[in-house]
Amino acid sequence: MGNALTAAVANRLFLSGNDAVAHAVRDAGVRVAAAYPGTPSTEILEVLARFPGLYAEWSPNEKVALEVALGASMMGARAFSAMKHVGLNVASDALMTLTVTGVEGGLVIAVADDVGMSSSQNEQDSRFWGRFAHVPVFEPADSQEAYDMTRAAFGLSERFRVPVLLRLTTRICHVKGRVELAPPQTREPTGFVKDAWRWVMVPGNAKPRLPLMFEREAALAAESAASQLNLLDAGSDRRIGFVTAGPAYMHVREAFPDAPVLKLGFSYPLPLARIRELAAQVDTLLVVEETEPLVEQEIRAAGIACIGKDVLPRLGELSPEVLRRGVARLRGELAAETDALPVQPVFPRPPTMCVACPHLGIYYTLSQLRNLIISGDIGCYTLGAGHPWNALDTCISMGASMGMALGMDKGRGEGDANKKIVAVIGDSTFMHMGMQGLLDITYNRGNVTILLLDNRAVGMTGGQDNPGTGRDIHGQQTGRVNFPQLCEALGVKKERIRVVDPYQLPVLFKALREETRIDEPSVIITDRPCVLIDDYKKTPPYAVIDDTCTGCGNCLEVGCPAIHVTRRDKAVKPSGKEVDLAFVRIETSVCTGCGLCVQPCAPEAIVHATPAVPVRFMKRES
């Protein structure tokens, strides 16, 4: 029985949507795949990198990734690029013109919307790009469709010489389901054909191409109208007919199994005739889409009556439960009461920085300095805005810390004249889109101190490599960016560039205090690796001597998750002021001996644990 079961498990693919897309890209004979990591899309390229026979890369940002894919397509090779929703904002400059040239080898762009915002700075609906760039949009509803539609997208891309947007959401990317693969294709590049009229987009060449783009869009509309990817489930209960796409389709089917449903797999150009047909058969047409009322408005604009966001939420994820409530509202009924227990109030558990994270020392230090305005950026270090540090004041978009810091400096009034402006940015974010901002700071003489946190990883998405790590997507050795030299080349004076160990708190404190006092751009680079990557080396753990701990709580300000309060108390100071005391212990099983908490400990109560216990994986309390 054991062997049979093992074999059954081995032969059946149970894939996330990301994994399914990667398998389809491989099986479509793609030659080049490029991406920048971003939740929820990251795993697509991670999986692709494990397949032999195709070129995969982490690019410095999404725009470069798309341009790499386009270059491969110009060679007549199939090409692919993946990104999260905000990544396509970055890549859109390339997109908006490559739609004019069209593609040669099939080009598919997977864009993953973080619907529900589990790990992003905003929620946005990437389907708009299909309209804006006049390119077709495919929307799979589960892993099998993610595989099938990715394969189909390459075929469509080549027939119409158009890039295809594969629109994913978190509940495609991060849902595992059964997948059956189709036979793989091989596809040799057809070769580059010099053709300035096609590839050199100067006005004289681009202008005559614009009508071609609109002709292509009209042809795609005819293709979508007849496409098997747009499916009508007839249904017996004609009170409400649904138009839906993506994972929302599954919710509709689950909540209303007898209703007619038009499922849009090839969702742009919209198959309006099919929608009109369904509308004629039902009392009410309800559009169920994540997240904006995009299809809904286009249906109305075509003169077809429908309901949508009038009864359904415009934000966050849909679910069968949400749909049932929306339909009850539409029918003027009370939603059926669920039998569920009430939600029990429990403290929030936001993500934390890791035990011994080098960022802990940086935010501890920033929290001890006064009169700072801290322009933040995107990465694990955005968590510095939270407890206990509260030492990050802004977070907008990749690399924005730089330009915003300069704007803060130039825009400050009398009230902020004495403030020191600090920008905090990670290594990967700096190379993604931060370098240009630093160039602006030096070019326009900004008074900003930059903390460049080089932890040799794209930490938040799982420690991927980047041009600063010296390793490529396969972990193979490659050139490594020299950050001090890069900053110098961008115009920072050599004497204003310091490399500091973030675990040496007095050194970091002194460097920050000195550099913020100097009225010109300076860069403090911290150079210790992310604790989640192999470069990080553990050292023997620490423990607290109970009798020596005075409950001052200084160590808690470091914010390390290995430090736990054992007892709280109050004391009255000689001045008469009442203070809170928190006596602590260190969870030795997870402490990796970074020594950050040792430094602010006034009574020297934190010492190496003896005997040193083996480091374990999960912390535990009794």
**Binding to other proteins, residues 339-368 (CB under 8 A):** 339-344, 346-354
Task: Between 120 and 447, name the residue whose CB sits nearer to other proteins.
Answer: 120
What whole-number distance in Å separates Cα of residue 585 and Cα of residue 562?
Answer: 8
Least gap, CB of 560 to other proteins (angstroms): 8
Which residues are CB-contacts of 562 (< 8 A; sequence separation ≥ 6)? 355, 356, 586, 587, 590, 591, 619
Which residues of 106-145 form beta strands (DSSP E)? 107-113, 137-138
CB nearer to other proteins: give 336 or 572: 336
Nearer to other proteins, 74 or 175 (CB): 175
Q: Cβ of residue 102: shortest distance to other proteins, in angstroms?
A: 35
Neighbours of 44 (CB within 10 A): 32
Phi, psi angles (nearest 5°) of residue 205: -90, -35
Identify the bridge partners of residue 169 per DSSP, sorted by sequence position: 113
Residues 432-461 that bind other proteins (CB under 8 A): 460
Contacts to other proteins from residues 82-141, by CB under 8 A: 114, 116, 118-120
Q: How many Å from the N-terminal Cα to the C-terminal Cα in the chain? A: 40
Cβ atoms within 10 A of the Cβ of 107, count? 30
Q: Which two tokens stand for residue 467?
A: 């041009």
Subset of 526-545 contacting other proteins (CB under 8 A): 532
Question: From the list 1, 301, 305, 572, which residue makes contact with other proteins (rule: CB under 8 A)?
Answer: 1
Q: Which of residues 7-46 bind other proteins (CB under 8 A)?
A: 8-10, 12, 14, 39-40
Q: Is the dihedral of CA 337, 340, 341, 345 positive or negative?
A: negative
Q: How far is the CB of 491 from other proteins (least distance, A)?
A: 35
- Which one, 250 or 492, has the nearer CB to other proteins? 250
Kindly state the smallest distance separating residue 288's Cβ from other proteins, in Å. 12
- Strands 578-586, 563-572: pairing is antiparallel
Q: Which two tokens stand for residue 57?
A: 């890369």
Which residue among 568, 569, 579, 603 contacts other proteins (CB under 8 A)?
A: 568
Beta strands (DSSP E) in 540-603 are: 542-544, 563-572, 578-586
Enumerate residues 47-86 that contact other proteins by CB under 8 A: none
Shortest CB 217 distance to other proteins, Å: 33
**478-515: burial string, b at 16+ Cβ within 10 Å, e else:** eeebebbebbbebebeeebbbebebbbbeebbebbeeb
Contact between 22 and 51 (Cβ < 8 Å): yes
Name residues contacting other proteins, limited to 467-496 (CB under 8 A).
none
Which 275-334 residues touch other proteins, going by CB under 8 A? 317, 319-321
559 binds other proteins (CB under 8 A): yes
Kindly state the DSSP code that residue 243 receives in the 8-state scheme.
E
Determine if 550 is a binding residue for other proteins (CB under 8 A).
Answer: no
> φ and ψ at 26, to 5 degrees?
-60, -50
Q: Judged by CB, which is closer to other proteins: 517, or 568?
A: 568
* 117, 86 Cβ separation under 8 angstroms: no
Residue among 121 and 297 whose Cβ is closer to other proteins: 121
Stretch that binds other proteins, among 22-30, 218-226, 245-253, 304-312 (CB under 8 A): 245-253
Rounded distance, CA 593 to CA 69, Å? 44
Residue 544: CB minimum distance to other proteins, A? 13
| Nearest residue (CB) to other proteins, 250 versus 435 | 250
Out of 2, 211, 413, 506, point to the residue binding other proteins (CB under 8 A).
2
Closest distance between other proteins and the C-beta of residue 260, in Å? 16
Restricting to residues 380-419, name those near other proteins by CB under 8 A: 380, 383, 386-388
Beta strand 230-233 pairing with 240-245? unpaired
Which of the 8 DSSP states describes residue 20?
H
Instruction: Map the footprint of other proteins across residues 178-207, applying CB under 8 A.
Output: 178
Nearest approach, Cβ of residue 576 and other proteins (Å): 22
Q: Is 387 or 474 the residue whose CB approaches other proteins more closely?
A: 387
As measured in angstroms, the least distance from the Cβ of 300 to other proteins is: 27
Taking CB under 8 A as the criterion, which residues in 212-231 touch other proteins? none
- Smallest distance from other proteins to CB 462, Å: 7
In the complex, the smallest distance separating the C-beta of residue 443 from other proteins, rounded to whole angstroms, is 35
Neighbours of 319 (CB within 10 A): 16
Task: Identify the residue among 563, 586, 597, 605 touching other proteins (CB under 8 A).
Answer: 563
DSSP state of 431: I
